[in-house]
Amino acid sequence: MGINIAIDGPSGAGKSTIARKAAAELGFIYVDTGAIYRSVTYYCLKNGVDMSDPASIESALPGIKPGLGFIEGVQHVFVNGEDVSDKIRTPEVSMLTSSAVASNPKVREFLLELQRRLARENNVIMDGRDIGTVILPNADLKIFLTASPEVRAQRRYNELKEKDPYITYEQVLDDVNKRDHTDAHHEVGALKMADDAVLCDTTELTLNQSVKKVTDLIRKTVMSNGGTRA
């Protein structure tokens, strides 16, 4: 049984970047749950599934064999043996994953065992919005990673302004607030801090300081006593 670290939190909190860097430092496997959902979207698009019809998406699930592989320590995403790591990062896949796939209860049920199997067989850091509450309710350590909406919007704005010189900070902040509301009110997989999670607020921290805070917490809480929560 591997050591399982669950990291949840709102969009823009830096979960994926921090989780990936912490996993590399600690020798754990980083599981990008969002990429797994994207792989389902990619398969559906490739096979002409009607993405506006939840029943059509659900009927395609038996033919999908998603998986993760690790090549030289880097996570690769596969669908039915095809490496789709780069193909799942298109704007179309991103949009449809959020609107049609990740919110589908049957898809979430379909992918649940895959995610749990990865956790059983490896030392993992897994991030998302319901990892500690649904996917890994018995994780050795649950972290709720957050930052103020204003800081998350500023970080996102700094990323986007080079690609879109017309975008404004106010637009990004509005998007962040809308996303927070949507994530908190999903019928399934809603963003919620687990009762036994540790709150990590990175509002005042740099990326490196955030990674250090998370890795120090994992070492102190889990790794210092052989994988049992202190």
Greatest Cα-to-Cα distance within the chain, rounded to the nearest angstrom: 51
Query: Residue 82's beta-bridge partner residues?
Result: 79
One digit per residue, the tens of pLDDT, for the chain of length 230 reads 789 999 999 988 989 899 999 999 999 989 988 899 999 999 999 999 999 999 999 999 999 999 888 787 678 999 999 999 999 988 899 889 988 998 899 999 999 988 999 899 989 999 988 899 999 999 999 999 999 999 999 998 998 888 888 999 999 999 899 888 888 887 777 888 999 999 999 999 999 999 999 999 999 998 776 554 44
Q: What domains can be seen in the chain, in order of their start residue?
A: 1-28+123-223 (3.40.50.300), 33-120 (3.40.50.300)
143: phi > 0 → left, psi -120 to 50 → alpha, else beta; which?
A: beta
pTM comes to: 0.83
* Adjacency order of strands within the sheet including 124-128: 29-32, 124-128, 4-8, 141-146, 198-201
